[in-house]
């Protein structure tokens, strides 16, 4: 009863391996957090799930179907930035989730009115009704991400992919977004993959936490090997005690940073 | 205090802004005085009041034979050509630019061709142009189109490529086809850039217009300038030059305003 | 004022090619040295620009037609003397049509030409002789001389008025085109001159002597059919010896200074210049302030003046050509 | 699969890139055949082999009289003018651009003046230019300078303004004077932009060069085209046009390479 | 013995008050953290301290001198971004701190060699010796900020101003930067002002934590009044128990975010 199935997936860029031999089974409705050092290939893996790129080797299937060759309505996505259309009002951004599959990408007349009414409901739910006619550039970062999530969900995807969705927000906003996401999750039962830099966030929101890391390492050729899933934690019940994870995988803390030279 | 931290006060600022204009006027006036003192009939640098009189006459006095005011007829003809040329150039470059920026196949097929085209000196091709498009309005408009389109295409296709890949992916996850992405995601976002690019290429458009009108025309601002050059009527030439500058300025201002008004979502950017 | 350095401008035209040869062959330098001066001869591609430059004071002399001299420098208040009458157009300017076979048939058609140039004048004279006026045409379209050949190749252009080498070029490549009228039908009206600033000439007679002397040395070479000289001129004109000879055939060169003096002193000159002045005034070229066609005075070798005697700005002076004819240089 | 997600394979890509060039060649060849069939003496569209022959001759045969190869002499003369014009324009615009961008006083004094200047059609001012600067090399170089400098100044001063205020503040906290900031913080950072701006304005520079050479010159690519235009020697004109296009392309490529090599700190940006 | 003295400072932009009646005395060597909701004027206050702007009213003096009119060597600064010169190598960025006050901003010959040697020492200390010849664009965010701090300190300012210096870094890097800063602080005894969005960071690093907030509020004209210092906490000994601060000033948590509409 695996819903998303990843089998022996490799990804290379210009002959440089980024991801190696990834295998994964995710059940429908699971919330999977993905953490790992910066540059280890988390976003790349998400792009593979999204079918924005095709893996060099291996296959990714959803619900036993054939591997997708390009992004489509069954996979929704929210990036850290650029997830809403700057030239559409907040409401039109939601309406777009309905009208884009149509021939001209437009609604007119009665259809438009209905779509707008539905969009207003969504805005009400995500707390953006009061700025329905504003353009995204006038919204704060948190409001923009909320809109992006609302827009993605309005297309009713079966899988939702989040790439550091709260990475650019300040801590307070971040907390309120966690709440918002948890609330939405309670209402639908989508399968979610979320890449995050924040271990705490990963454990707080996820059912599972995957850690990406390199299993092999050649000090002379640091780019010779790619990363794969090295840990797969159960994170239900807040994944206590997740704090010890740093002791196990110190690279997560240092992230993009080489240790300061001793002096 | 460092010079870069010093800001002129408001009146000083206005004075400063006026300074170079006044300086040019005075320099002209002195030059004109000197020449006119040597030869009162000198035509090269007519006195400012002569220019004023000429300008007044050009703007108001109808031509004896045809009854129309030449300056306005010239302006109308030239602006019409300019509008057609720029408009057609804009349409072509929108289509091709979106194609190149969005579709890998079109990009491979056309981008190096457009790059080479943009290097061809259009003025040197005038004879071929005339034969293919005739001596009428078409060839003048085509010269403008040929002159500005390669630049517009390159600029716009670059802007399409600059649209964050995330937005394109997002649109795909909402089920948009290539056509819908072009129409609803890409097109509206490069329209402001189109206006900006047009503003940048208007100088070239004027140039090509004047060059085309110099070759063959019966009416037009460039035509008149080249015609009266035959008897060195600098008062008329200068009036026309100032008038063209003013028109260019107004068009530029109108486009800027249009861009601000028509694209509120830019939020002050650009 | 007295000075020793002079500058002449010339542009490419069959009758003016000797100026380029004068410069490149060193003949000008030789004569200038003789009179202890220097004369710089500068080629300018754009004919109108060369006259404008002269009018503005950038040059002491320029090659120009009688008509353009009257309108630009003289009309612009620069007192100008025709130092050399080099030739008159004897078929070098022509009206060529694809369809029409006579001037009368031009009625209600468009004509392409360089407006306000001698072509325009030629057209006006041709129409006049046929009892028509410019308003009987559907209009004239200003067309740059550089593009006249290309223009004639386009379908909508029916009639052009232009000059050599364009005339022969057009007739050669369009065997079925008709020459309706050419300047040989108005002999002596389109004169190609070397005009200089009157004041400069008055203060520096040596300048006039050197230039005229050099010019007639080259004239004698041409008259003798000097291949070397003619080839150099042909090349500078962008054609070959044959082509250049054909152009010269339609140019009534005054190889002999005495002939030039004769032309300048001829009884038709005042009449010609009056016709030209009327044409210019009619076209508004003499300026909006010009009260009438005779607002600029033209003085002839015998002291006769047409136009305003108080405003003589163009003088036909045969003194120097006469010296050349007398071998006094 | 959506068209926008489809990428041509390598061979297809090369084929696609070649397609428009081949199409133009074939179209020309057909046009030329048709015209030559109707009139074997037609000069407008000479047969490709005629052009090849002419080109071969132009590139190798020295002029009998002077012994130099005209095409190379023309190229050399034109490139020299271009280099001077663009070089002087670059120097002026660097100075003025940094001034406008960095110093509020200069900005107030010059920015609107430059904005107006950039609207003046330089071709219409040619007569005045020739009279002020004479008919020698100077006026041709000056036309190029006048033609491109306002654009360069506006572009560069905008780039100076785009330098994050934080950097300027940081430099001040390190004790830098206005002069040091201009020299060590601003100047090096706008040099790559200067090259980019020059690449953009080279087309205009060629245009002005050709226009100036058409009016007064004895040697130069534009002069030659102008000279043979009267005879409709399209084989020579086309050779020159292709040659100019090639030169423009090489210059553009050289500048691009220079920019990449000379400014490693850009890290692939621009 | 107040070192930095702020007296009755007001700042307006286009007639809109941002900062109102701020008074502050800071002793030499103190580390002052500044927190507050987004947009309340923290950066503005820092710019005033920096003398990058002159207050509309009031005066700021250092060590009893006359108010500075523009930034200078006595005040060092590190911003969130753009704090190093992208066109200079890492080493040249440090050398610049010595050479910029010179006439042409350049060193040559022996002087240059000496300055480079000193720069290399600094790089050794801040752990960037191995990238001395790289350009900043090739450095990670954390390394760039480390360089920016090293550069600012190399000019030996009497006051160091930090505007969210670690705001753009990921949590792991952030921690290591805290260590780095604490270490540097131990070596010198500068007066430091640091603006931060992260309360924890403020209390961890600072001796004092200032809170900026509006004291007056007109619901119809939210922009009528400016912010001022509403709290001034002692944060030595890690300022325990700082957690309660959120209860006192809830606006700090919500930051730029309006509360989600109830539904
Ligand atoms: N399209 C691409 N072409 C070439 N290399 C790429 C491409 N996309 C990513 N990479 C490389 O793959 C590696 C992994 O990138 P990725 O963005 O997946 O990392 P990440 O784990 O998401 O990092 P971060 O936490 O910084 O977002 C990086 O070294 C990156 O340079
Ligand atoms: N130069 C300026 N001109 C006009 N208004 C300004 C200027 N600088 C700042 N402001 C306004 O002043 C207010 C405070 O800005 P400031 O950058 O100081 O806030 P902040 O507390 O640093 O916010 P953040 O936490 O988002 O960095 C904002 O409303 C801003 O729009
Ligand atoms: Mg990533
Ligand atoms: Mg701030």
Question: Residue A262 pLDDT > 50, yes or no?
Answer: no
Question: Residue B205 pLDDT > 80, yes or no?
Answer: yes
pLDDT, one tens digit per residue, over D4-57 is 999 999 999 999 999 999 999 999 999 899 988 988 877 778 899 999 999 999
ipTM for the assembly: 0.83
User: Domain with E41 in it: what CATH number?
Assistant: 3.40.50.300
B23: buried, middle or exposed (CB in 10 Å: 19+, 13-18, 0-12)? exposed
B126 compared with D114, residue with greater pLDDT: D114
Question: Residue B268 pLDDT > 60, yes or no?
Answer: no
Which of D230, D233, D235, D236 should one mutate to test binding to chain C, selecting the residue with the greatest count of C CBs within 10 A?
Answer: D230
Gap between the Cα atoms of C89 and C163, Å rounded? 9
Gap between the Cα atoms of A19 and A214, Å rounded? 9
Ligand nearest the Cα of residue A52 is: 1
pLDDT, one tens digit per residue, over E151-194 is 998 998 999 999 999 877 777 778 888 888 888 888 888 899 99
What pLDDT is attached to residue E259? 37
State whether D131 and C53 contact (CB < 8 Å). Answer: yes
- SS (HEC) of B63-129: CCCCCCCHHHHHHHHHHHHHHHHHHHHHHHHHHHHHHHHHCHHHHHHHHHHHHHHCCCCHHHHHHHH
Q: Is the pTM of this model over 0.80?
A: yes
CA of D264 to the centre of ligand 1 (A): 22
State whether D173 and E83 contact (CB < 8 Å). Answer: no
What pLDDT is attached to residue A6? 94
Question: Residue B270 pLDDT > 50, yes or no?
Answer: no
pLDDT, one tens digit per residue, over C154-186 is 888 899 999 887 888 888 888 888 899 998 898
The answer to whether C194 and C86 are in contact (CB under 8 A) is yes
What pLDDT is attached to residue B123? 81
> Do E and B touch, counting CB pairs below 8 Å (3 needed)?
yes
Question: Residue C290 pLDDT > 60, yes or no?
Answer: yes
CA of E147 to the centre of ligand 4 (A): 21
Question: Residue A257 pLDDT > 60, yes or no?
Answer: no
State chain A's mean pLDDT as an integer: 84
Range of the domain at E245: 4-67+159-175+190-256
Atom of ligand 2 nearest to the CA of E223: 29
Question: Residue A100 pLDDT > 60, yes or no?
Answer: yes
Judge whether A139 lies within some domain.
no
What pLDDT is attached to residue E256? 35
Task: Say if B6 is an interface residue toward chain E (CB within 8 Å).
Answer: no
Question: Residue E197 pLDDT > 70, yes or no?
Answer: yes
What pLDDT is attached to residue E254? 45
Report strand pairing: C297-299 vs C305-306: antiparallel
Atom of ligand 1 nearest to the CA of A45: 18
State whether B124 and D225 contact (CB < 8 Å). Answer: yes
Judge whether A80 lies within some domain.
no
Name the residue with the closest Cα to ligand 2, atom 1.
Answer: E13
Ligand 2 near E140 CB (within 6 A): no
What pLDDT is attached to residue E255? 42
| The token pair that represents D182 in the structure block | 């201009």
The answer to whether D173 and E77 are in contact (CB under 8 A) is yes
CA of E153 to the centre of ligand 2 (A): 26
CA of A39 to the centre of ligand 1 (A): 5
pLDDT, one tens digit per residue, over B242-264 is 999 999 999 999 999 998 888 88
Question: Residue B160 pLDDT > 80, yes or no?
Answer: yes
Q: Which residues pair with C64 in a beta bridge?
A: C193
State whether D119 and B248 contact (CB < 8 Å). Answer: yes
Of A146, A180, A254, the CB nearest to E176: A254
What pLDDT is attached to residue D223? 86
DSSP state of D184: I
Interface contacts (A, E; CB < 8 Å): 93
Question: Residue E90 pLDDT > 80, yes or no?
Answer: yes
Question: Residue A8 pLDDT > 90, yes or no?
Answer: yes
pLDDT, one tens digit per residue, over A201-234 is 888 888 899 999 888 777 676 677 888 998 888 8
What pLDDT is attached to residue C56? 83
Mean pLDDT of C76-99: 89
Question: Residue E105 pLDDT > 60, yes or no?
Answer: yes
CA of E13 to the centre of ligand 2 (A): 9
State whether A87 and B164 contact (CB < 8 Å). Answer: no
Question: Residue C282 pLDDT > 90, yes or no?
Answer: no
The three-state secondary structure class of E192 is: strand
Judge whether A165 lies within some domain.
yes
Name the residue with the closest Cα to ligand 2, atom 14.
Answer: E41
Gap between the Cα atoms of D270 and D131, Å rounded? 41
What pLDDT is attached to residue E263? 37
Judge whether E59 lies within some domain.
yes
Judge whether A137 lies within some domain.
no
The answer to whether A51 and A95 are in contact (CB under 8 A) is no
Run means of pLDDT, 10 residues per run, chain D, 270 residues = 90 93 94 87 84 91 78 93 96 96 94 89 78 80 92 92 94 94 94 92 89 82 82 85 92 92 71
State whether B131 and C77 contact (CB < 8 Å). Answer: no
What pLDDT is attached to residue A251? 60
State whether B173 and A72 contact (CB < 8 Å). Answer: yes
Which of D160, D175, D260 should one mutate to test binding to chain E, selecting the residue with the greatest count of E CBs within 10 A?
Answer: D175
What pLDDT is attached to residue B171? 95
Name the residue with the closest Cα to ligand 2, atom 9.
Answer: E44
Gap between the Cα atoms of A33 and A195, Å rounded? 6
What pLDDT is attached to residue A256? 35
Task: Say if B119 is an interface residue toward chain E (CB within 8 Å).
Answer: no
- Residue B164: C-alpha distances to residues B101, B102, B170 (Å): 12, 12, 10
Judge whether A235 lies within some domain.
yes
Task: Say if E136 is an interface residue toward chain D (CB within 8 Å).
Answer: yes
Atom of ligand 2 nearest to the CA of E16: 5
pLDDT, one tens digit per residue, over B28-77 is 999 999 988 887 877 788 899 999 998 998 898 887 767 788 899 999 99
Q: Grade residue E237 by pLDDT with cuts at 50, 70 and 90.
A: low
Which chain D positions have a beta carbon within 8 Å of C150's beta carbon?
Answer: 44, 229, 232
Of B42, B215, B231, the CB nearest to C143: B215
Atom of ligand 2 nearest to the CA of E164: 27
The answer to whether D70 and D58 are in contact (CB under 8 A) is yes
Task: Look at A47-51, A64-68, B23-27, B120-124 and tell me which has the smallest mean pLDDT.
Answer: B120-124
Task: Say if B180 is an interface residue toward chain A (CB within 8 Å).
Answer: yes
Question: How many domains does chain E divide into?
Answer: 1
Which chain E positions have a beta carbon within 8 Å of A173's beta carbon?
Answer: 254-257
**Which domains does chain B possess?**
3-44 (no CATH), 72-266 (1.10.3720.10)
Judge whether A47 lies within some domain.
yes
Touching partners of B (3+ C-beta pairs < 8 Å): A, C, D, E
Gap between the Cα atoms of E184 and A74, Å rounded? 52
């Amino acid at each position: 009863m695996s819903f998303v199935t990843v089998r022996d997936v490799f990804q290379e860029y210009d002959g440089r391996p980024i991801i190696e031999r990834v295998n994964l089974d995710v059940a429908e409705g699971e919330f999977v957090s993905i953490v790992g050092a910066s540059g280890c290939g988390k976003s790349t893996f998400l792009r593979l799930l999204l079918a924005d790129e095709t893996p060099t080797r291996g296959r990714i299937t959803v619900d036993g179907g054939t591997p997708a060759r390009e992004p489509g309505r069954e996979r929704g996505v929210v990036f850290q930035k650029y997830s809403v259309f700057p030239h559409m009002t907040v409401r039109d951004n939601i309406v777009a989730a309905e009208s884009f599959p149509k021939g001209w990408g437009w609604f007119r007349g009665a259809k438009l009115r209905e779509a707008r009414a539905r969009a207003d409901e969504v805005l009400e739910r995500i707390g953006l009704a009061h700025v329905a006619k504003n353009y995204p550039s006038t919204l704060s970062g948190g409001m923009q991400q909320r809109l992006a999530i609302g827009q993605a969900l309005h297309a009713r995807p079966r899988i939702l992919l989040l790439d550091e969705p709260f990475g650019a927000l300040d801590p307070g906003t971040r907390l309120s977004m966690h709440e918002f996401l948890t609330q939405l999750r309670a209402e639908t039962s989508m399968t979610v993959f979320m890449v995050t830099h924040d271990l705490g966030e990963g454990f707080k929101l996820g059912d599972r936490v995957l850690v990406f890391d390199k299993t092999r390492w050649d000090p002379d050729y640091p780019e010779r090997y790619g990363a794969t899933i090295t840990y797969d934690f159960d994170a239900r019940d807040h994944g206590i005690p997740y704090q010890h994870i740093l002791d196990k995988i110190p690279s997560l803390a240092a992230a993009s940073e080489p240790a300061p030279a001793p002096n | 205090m460092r010079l870069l931290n010093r800001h002129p006060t408001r009146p000083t600022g206005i004075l400063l802004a006026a300074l170079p204009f006044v300086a040019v006027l005075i320099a002209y006036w002195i030059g004109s005085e000197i020449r006119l003192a040597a030869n009162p009939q000198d035509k090269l640098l007519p006195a400012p009041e002569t220019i004023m009189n000429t300008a007044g006459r050009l703007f108001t006095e109808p031509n004896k034979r045809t009854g129309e005011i030449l300056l306005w007829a010239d302006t109308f003809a030239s602006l019409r050509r300019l509008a057609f040329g720029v408009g057609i150039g804009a349409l072509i470059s929108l289509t091709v630019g979106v194609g190149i920026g969005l579709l890998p196949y079109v990009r491979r097929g056309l981008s190096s061709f457009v790059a080479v085209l943009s290097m061809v000196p259009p003025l040197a091709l005038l004879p071929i142009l005339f034969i293919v498009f005739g001596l009428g309005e078409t060839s003048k408009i085509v010269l403008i189109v040929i002159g500005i389109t390669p630049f517009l295409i390159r600029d716009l296709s670059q802007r399409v490529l600059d649209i964050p890949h995330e937005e394109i992916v997002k649109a795909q996850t909402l089920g948009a086809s290539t056509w819908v992405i072009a129409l609803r995601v890409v097109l509206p976002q490069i329209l402001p850039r189109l206006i900006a690019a047009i503003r940048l290429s208007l100088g070239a458009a004027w140039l090509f217009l004047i060059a085309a009108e110099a070759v063959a025309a019966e009416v037009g601002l460039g035509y008149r300038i080249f015609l009266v050059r035959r008897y060195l009527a600098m008062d008329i030439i200068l009036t026309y030059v100032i008038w063209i500058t003013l028109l260019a300025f107004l068009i530029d201002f109108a486009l800027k305003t249009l861009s601000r008004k028509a694209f509120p979502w830019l939020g002050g950017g650009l | 004022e007295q000075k020793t350095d002079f500058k002449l401008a010339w542009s490419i035209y069959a009758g003016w090619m000797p100026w380029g040869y004068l410069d490149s062959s060193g003949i000008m330098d030789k004569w200038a040295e003789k009179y202890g001066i220097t004369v710089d001869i500068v080629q300018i591609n754009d004919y109108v620009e060369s006259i404008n430059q002269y009018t503005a004071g950038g040059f002491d002399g320029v090659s120009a037609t009688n008509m353009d001299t009257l309108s630009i420098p003289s009309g612009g208040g620069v007192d100008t003397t025709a130092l050399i009458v080099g030739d008159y157009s004897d078929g070098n300017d022509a009206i060529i049509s694809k369809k029409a076979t006579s001037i009368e048939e031009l009625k209600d058609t468009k004509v392409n030409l360089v407006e306000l140039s001698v072509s325009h004048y030629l057209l006006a004279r041709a129409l006049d002789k046929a009892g028509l006026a410019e308003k009987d045409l559907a209009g004239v379209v200003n067309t740059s001389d550089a593009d006249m050949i290309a223009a004639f190749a386009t379908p909508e252009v029916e009639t052009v008025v232009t000059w050599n080498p364009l005339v022969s070029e057009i007739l050669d490549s369009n065997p079925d085109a008709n020459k309706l009228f050419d300047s040989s039908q108005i002999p002596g009206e389109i004169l190609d001159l070397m005009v200089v600033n009157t004041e400069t000439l008055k203060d520096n007679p040596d300048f006039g002597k050197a230039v005229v002397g050099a010019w007639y040395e080259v004239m004698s070479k041409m008259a003798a059919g000097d291949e070397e000289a003619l080839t150099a001129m042909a090349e500078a004109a962008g054609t070959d010896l044959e082509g250049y000879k054909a152009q010269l055939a339609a140019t009534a060169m005054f190889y002999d200074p005495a002939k030039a003096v004769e032309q300048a002193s001829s009884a038709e000159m005042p009449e010609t210049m009056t016709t030209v002045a009327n044409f210019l005034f009619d076209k508004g070229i003499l300026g909006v302030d010009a009260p009438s066609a005779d607002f600029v005075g033209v003085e002839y070798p015998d002291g006769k003046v047409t136009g305003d005697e108080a405003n003589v700005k163009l003088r036909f002076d045969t003194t120097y050509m006469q010296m050349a004819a007398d071998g006094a240089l």
